[in-house]
Structure 1
């Protein structure tokens, strides 16, 4: 049952493909180099290969992205051509490069393409030797690849990139004077969002190009209503993108001269770096939709307008765990305030926020009145993230709320009921098995309810969110945790904020069509479009008719439209820049996308195999690189081969392959009751603690890299800062000579240099009894000067000796209680053992209500009596959302050898803190 919170309160495929091709000086033979991960993968099972994790590109790698890379090279041309016909695009990116240096070198061809796209071909010509791509079943392609690799003649590596683009990378090592030509093809269906289709082209040649040109050709048989193009290169390019259009055609061209590409008049660097975006919409004769027939296939587009919106019933489920601290929560609150303003009096809503606990702003749905909206805004503004993530209970609570409202006839039977989940991490509290959560939600969800999942950042298991949303008539979207996360959240809500129809079905005359894609839809939202495709069966009639049924706000509708089965082919034959195979490819594109979705929901291995086989057959026939097919690039005589696989999403949980693969980072814990996200007057006892212990309302914590969050109750301020130090260094977190308690933490590094540091070992020393407790990722050791007692993380246990009590929760956390006055919880974070970067690490949670003497100091201890905190030199930081400044902590600090340590915190971004660095765990 939901309790009312007290208010106010204090939220590749594009595959990156790297083809390493080395042309040796001696003769015309080729040698290929294989990446180590592939050597392991070749010997593993298909299910394990499907769980292959892609590595996220760092921000530095993203910033260094260039389409053509190499020293002393001449880029003769770089051209992009897209042909969009009836919302389906075929894009070709080509470049001609010469090694103009005096030595052999590697030349890279890098292309960023939309995540929704399928690669269809890649060709490369090196000094007259042509490599041509063909899509084959993955096992067939890999066998051919392995044969070539046995002769040291093949290579491939997979990675992924950021936001809505993924990266294709090809690298060739060639002698001086060599000529190389690259050409990549990909296809994509345009999705209508907020009344517009969007076509995005990433352009970053990295140097001045004599022939730099982008052409986008659009042909829409019913006519183009609006078309516009923009770029992110800079204001000086605004007039260089030319848009011309007629009734049914449009041409967008970008063709800057070498001088126009320069950063300055005498510069040799190019300023062409960014994205060209084409937005357009089409004419619509009526609400009945548009039916097109070509090449033996049909495509039906349905996007009615001028209908009254259906009332909405929405439960917002917001993750407020500790990982949401900072920009994520700030952006979520900002977006939620705007979303709440969009609600009307006809809408019903409530808010559930959760960490390891689940709370409701209102236990029941309430109308979207101005009073309720204002109250809800105050509620979310006072949310303070902390603790774990109990997704299971939060979602079940949201379903119960909708069920109760439905049973009590509170909601309109023609209204739309939905749950919108916003989360940035995996479940860590309560039910943590993803497949079990999926089953639990599926069991209680009613057919009239939908679940929409928004995953913030890259740590979230997006595959799981997508599965649970798709299975419950919704959709998922990744929200990138950057400066415009609030805008991304608002944009997603705008897509689902105005439902116009329910229970839509598209049908055709009997025996007129076959192999039809999805034709039953739960909802239609204003500004979007439903698309159905299929094959047209032979018939004496030249007319195909569709019938569309659905439920609007106050009536049920049946709409009919028809199309001539020969007319469009004749029209396409007249067009110079149309894509004549659009209908056939769009049908295959939709079918494969839907089959991939069905496969992810298949409950048995037999079903998965059948679906996989159909995907592979269609993908090979239509030349799409998918998660189950590969692009084999061969020379004309098939003696030289390169292989490109399509990777999975960077994070898979219970849902990938045939069984559950380990997520990138998995940690499970039950925080003590004093780890609360927001203070409430409720009294909670410390876990198994003494009755006289006073329960704190706030907690100081250090987690991740290491990330400090300190609460100053008198100032009503939360300070968040990071400590930059080196692996092996020991940080003094708390040292109190009055009580004899010392807490230190030793740093460890990630598997790659210049990456993050974490706490690998925490040491707690109690001087009066001479007892030390060492907590590492391997286990817990207690020493009293004479004996050592070691315990593993593999079992739950409680140990008492003198004034020390150690409570271990299996594979989760350990709570050390000292003399009934001081508590420290150490949280275990486990990661995937084969993760290329991350390592196991520890987090530490210390309640504010611990009892210290006036002599306490240390990175956390210095704040116990709330010293004076001064901020100065406040200025604009590198991140536009964070100012930078220096923070000085004065007063009760007693540090013998203080050093300045850089960090960042919530309001001003940079800090200078008094800290002591040691070389051993208990040197004071």
Structure 2
């Protein structure tokens, strides 16, 4: 998941209000007091279980002149070989002054920058891309004439997404170890490795709610996915409504004949009936367990289950905690469960818990005409396992508070990120030793990083954030604690983790489900806060610049903070409006 480190400032009739982070119940009380007294008030919200979605609301008193800025920083995760940021640009009308600027600052060096044409060729010469070895700048500043759908149209062609994609040079197999100011971040994304064979079970919901476009596009995606399997892979298909069926009761090799037969089977599916998630998952786990017990799996292979569902269980076991328990008790330690939640009706938090508990991840798939491409894109992220049992070691007592450093799999095109603290007075350099299993051998990779490698680079560019190592460490740590909290076995354990999250949130100025943002003026008159919204609220956010994969951004006073649907694991999107006078440049 991604998340944000937030700050908020607002000027009302010449008075500037700035932000601070409070414990949630304290902030709620302050907000209630402000509203009761008819004072200026607003909200910046994080979702119930993670930090990936935020929503802003601002209430302005009649006659007040207000300018506000919401600054955030979010982690950019590498997917399919690149970092990607999407900005939703939907002003709804011609904008007299519209600017979006993206700066990329990368000490590793920028391998490529790509801005695909997402506006159907409407903007000739826009955006402008300037690329150097370690820095790049993308400028999107269409004139009013360029914004028109046609020469005499009053409608705007700016209605979609500005997408920026890039990647860095990766000369070191052991990854890039960046250290600064008592913190380090280790980026690991090796290439040129042979794919590890995979054993994969596709578990597809075919209940009545999947009827129509959802099922049609799921079938379309599955046909492409089956064609992408390698012959050394083994697979089968489980489909379920109130009953559970299998295309094959055993795993079979992904030959052209077998994949063609599986596609014919999927094409004949007619959705109907209820949803028996528990029985479907247990059937898939049984197939993998049997194959493993009979010695039919390559000992160096990777085993995956991919669940595609659009609803809560309605048949069989209905209690979500029992389903989690059943899966956890039966699944083997070498199997990863990935969950894809179709549409907005599915209990996405349940799917996240289910996957987090079983070495996988969950992703929401938005139910629209783009469903097939979303499914295929997710599959591509896990289609090429390159390493198993990846372990990061930093053999020195002065290296402490390391984030998750053991990973079940590494998939091609992705990236593993580990962060930690060190004592700069006791260390001149940090050593990293990575052990992992590839398709052919056991790997041991080693790298060293000097203490002052980044200092000179970060000091030379006003867009670089010299504090990114600390912020990324704090973000990763809090996210891991949130995941642990949702899986805590006892109330006492949950309470202990909650205290840790709250303290880190306050120390590092991060809005989480446990904290809130309060806006106060110079006299300490507290007026505005961030708070947890109802589940599944979407976020508004803005443009950004990148700096070593920590991407700060802002929503100036001229951006519309209305929420827009977001791809999970990204907080993204902005709706840009007209500004007078010219706005502060988005960063």
Offset of residue 647 of structure 1: 2.8
Matched residue of 1:607: which SS? helix
One of 228, 243, 248 as aligned partner of 2:114: 228
Corresponding residue number in structure 2 for 1:426 = 312
Output one character per residue of 1:563-616: Cα deviation in whole Å (capped at 9) or x when no partner. 111121122111232122111111111111111111111121112122122112
2:360 maps to 1:464:
no
- Quick check: 1:346 aligned with 2:255? no
The alpha-carbon deviation at position 627 of structure 1 amounts to 1.0
Match of 1:358 in 2: 244
Alignment match, 2:57: 169
User: Which structure has the bigger radius of gyration?
Assistant: 1
Cα deviations across residues 377-422 of structure 1 (Å, max 9, x unaligned)? 1111111111111111111111110010001111101100111111
Mapped to 1, the partners of 2:269 and 2:253 lie a distance apart of 22
In the other structure, the counterpart of 2:378 is 492
| Aligned counterpart, 2:532 | 646
Question: CA shift at 1:562, angstroms?
Answer: 0.9
Trace 1:714-793 onto structure 2 (pairs within 5 A).
none
Q: Does 1:455 align with 2:330?
A: no
Q: Deviations over 1:507-541 (max 9, x none)?
A: 11221311111000000000000000011123444
Structure 2 residue 499 is the aligned partner of structure 1 residue 613: yes
Deviations 1:598-647 (A, max 9, x none): 11111211121221221121122222211111111223223351222133
CA shift for structure 1 position 147: 3.5
Equivalent in the alignment of 2:520: 634
Find the partner of 1:586 among 459, 465, 472: 472
For residues 684-732 of structure 1, what are the alpha-carbon distances to aligned partners after superposition, in whole Å with 9 as ceiling and x for unaligned? Answer: xxxxxxxxxxxxxxxxxxxxxxxxxxxxxxxxxxxxxxxxxxxxxxxxx
Divergent runs of 4+, >6 A:
157-161
Equivalent position to 1:239, from 125, 128, 140: 125
Partners of 1:141 and 1:542 lie apart in 2 by 43
State the match for 1:44 in structure 2: none
Confirm or deny that 1:413 pairs with 2:413.
no
- Quote the residue 1:142 is aligned against: 28
Report the equivalent of 1:478.
364
Distance 2:522 2:148 in 1: 39
Aligned to 2:461: 575
SS at match of 1:441: helix
CA distance in 1, matches of 2:90, 2:504: 33
CA gap of 1:430–1:381, structure 2 versus 1, over 3 A, is same
Q: When the two structures are superposed, what TM-score results if normalisation uses the length of structure 1?
A: 0.56
**How far, CA to CA, are the matches of 1:211 and 1:278 in structure 2?**
21
Judging changes above 3 Å, is the alpha-carbon distance between structure 1 residues 495 and 305 closer, same or farther for their aligned structure 2 residues? same
Q: Contact 2:282–2:327 at 8 Å: present in 1 too?
A: yes
Query: Which residue is equivalent to 2:558?
Result: none
Shift, 1:270, TM fit: 4.0
**How far apart are the structure 1 equivalents of 2:46 and 2:163?**
22
- Aligned residue for 2:290, secondary structure, equals helix
Shift of 1:295: 2.0
Whichever structure has more helix as a proportion of its residues is: 2
Mapped pair 1:317 → 2:198: no
Whether 2:193 is the aligned partner of 1:283: answer: no
Q: Counterparts of 1:443 and 1:130 in 2: how far apart (Å)?
A: 55
1:511–1:537 Cα contact (<8 Å) kept: no
Residue ranges of structure 1 left out of the alignment (5+ in a row): 1-114, 652-924
Question: Taking CA–CA contacts closer than 8 Å with sequence separation of 6 or more, which of the two structures ends up with the larger relative contact order?
Answer: 2
C-alpha distance in 1, partners of 2:222/2:386?
Answer: 23
Question: Residue 555 and residue 640 in structure 1: after superposition, are their counterparts in 2 closer, same or farther (change >3 A)?
Answer: closer
1:377–1:490 distance in 2 versus 1, CA, 3 Å: same
Say whether residues 1:384 and 2:270 are aligned partners.
yes
Give the 3-state SS of the residue equivalent to 1:230 in structure 2.
coil
* Residues 238, 293 of structure 1: alpha-carbon distance in 2 compared, 3 angstrom cutoff: farther
The CA deviation at 1:375 is: 1.1
Preserved contact between residue 158 and residue 647 of structure 1 (Cα < 8 Å): no
Structure 2 gaps, min length 5:
538-587
Conserved in 1, the CA contact under 8 Å of 2:2 and 2:76? no
Corresponding position of 2:160: 274
| 2:562 corresponding residue in structure 1 | none
Q: CA deviation at 1:205?
A: 3.4
Counterpart pick for 2:323 among 429, 434, 437: 437
User: Post-superposition shift, 1:214?
Assistant: 1.4
- In 2, are the aligned partners of 1:230 and 1:241 still within 8 Å (CA)? no
Aligned CA distance change for structure 1 residues 156 and 123 (closer, same or farther; 3 Å): closer
Contact kept? 1:227, 1:278, Cα under 8 Å: yes
Secondary structure of 1:403 counterpart = helix
d(CA) in 2 for partners of 1:321, 1:500: 35
In structure 2, distance between residues paired with 1:527 and 1:605: 39
Structure 2 distance, partners of 1:225, 1:432, is: 49
Q: CA 1:648 to 1:189, structure 2 compared with 1: closer, same or farther past 3 Å? A: farther
Match of 1:371 among 254, 257, 265: 257
- Summarize deviations over 1:784-819 as a string: whole Å, max 9, x none: xxxxxxxxxxxxxxxxxxxxxxxxxxxxxxxxxxxx
2:103 aligns with: 217
For 2:476 and 2:376, locate their aligned partners in 1 and report how far apart those are by CA, in whole Å.
27
> Whole-Å Cα distance in 2 between the matches of residues 238 and 533 of structure 1?
42
Query: What does residue range 832-847 of structure 1 map to in structure 2 within 5 Å?
Result: none
Deviation at 1:368, TM superposition (A): 0.8
Aligned residues: 533
Partners of 1:583 and 1:352 lie apart in 2 by 44
Specify the alignment match of 1:394 in structure 2.
280
Whether the 8 Å CA contact 1:301–1:531 is kept in 2: the answer is yes
- 1:143 Cα deviation from its structure 2 partner: 2.9
Q: Distance in 1 between matches of 2:400 and 2:394?
A: 10
TM-score by length of 2: 0.87
Tell me how far 1:170 sits from its aligned partner.
2.3
Q: For 2:455 and 2:172, how far apart are their aligned partners in 1?
A: 23
Q: d(CA) in 1 for partners of 2:119 and 2:17?
A: 33
2:46–2:513 contact (8 Å) kept in structure 1: no
Tell me, in whole angstroms, the C-alpha distance in 2 between the residues paired with 1:208 and 1:559.
54
Output the CA distance in 2 between the equivalents of 1:347 and 1:180. Answer: 59
Alignment check: 8 A CA contact 1:154 1:643 kept: no
Secondary structure at the counterpart of residue 217 of structure 2: helix
Find the residue that maps to 2:70 and give its secondary structure: strand
Question: Per the alignment, in what secondary structure is the counterpart of residue 300 of structure 2?
Answer: coil
**Structure 2 CA distance for partners of 1:259 and 1:345, relative to 1, 3 Å:** closer
The 1-side partners of 2:46 and 2:479 are apart by 20
Judge conservation of contact 2:217–2:372 (CA < 8 Å) in 1.
yes
Question: Residue in 2 aligned with 1:719?
Answer: none
Match of 1:307 in 2: 193
The alignment status of 1:334 with 2:220, answered yes or no, reads yes
- SS of residue in 1 equivalent to 2:115: strand
Whether the aligned pair in 1 keeps the contact of 2:43 and 2:528 (CA below 8 Å) is no
Query: How many angstroms apart in 2 are the aligned matches of 1:610 and 1:531?
Result: 26
1:566 aligns with 2:452: yes
Task: Give deviations 1:76-125, integer Å, cap 9, x for gaps.
Answer: xxxxxxxxxxxxxxxxxxxxxxxxxxxxxxxxxxxxxxx83315112221
Q: Following the alignment from structure 2 to structure 1, what is the Cα–Cα distance between the partners of residues 526 and 419?
A: 39
In 2: Cα distance, 1:230 partner to 1:579 partner = 27
CA RMSD of aligned residues (A): 2.0
Work out the CA distance in 2 between the residues paired with 1:169 and 1:262.
30
Matched, 1:188 2:106: no
Superposed CA offset, 1:246-287 (max 9, x none)? 111111111223333344545555433322111000001121
Q: Using a 3 Å threshold, how does the CA distance of structure 1 residues 377 and 270 change in structure 2: closer, same or farther?
A: closer
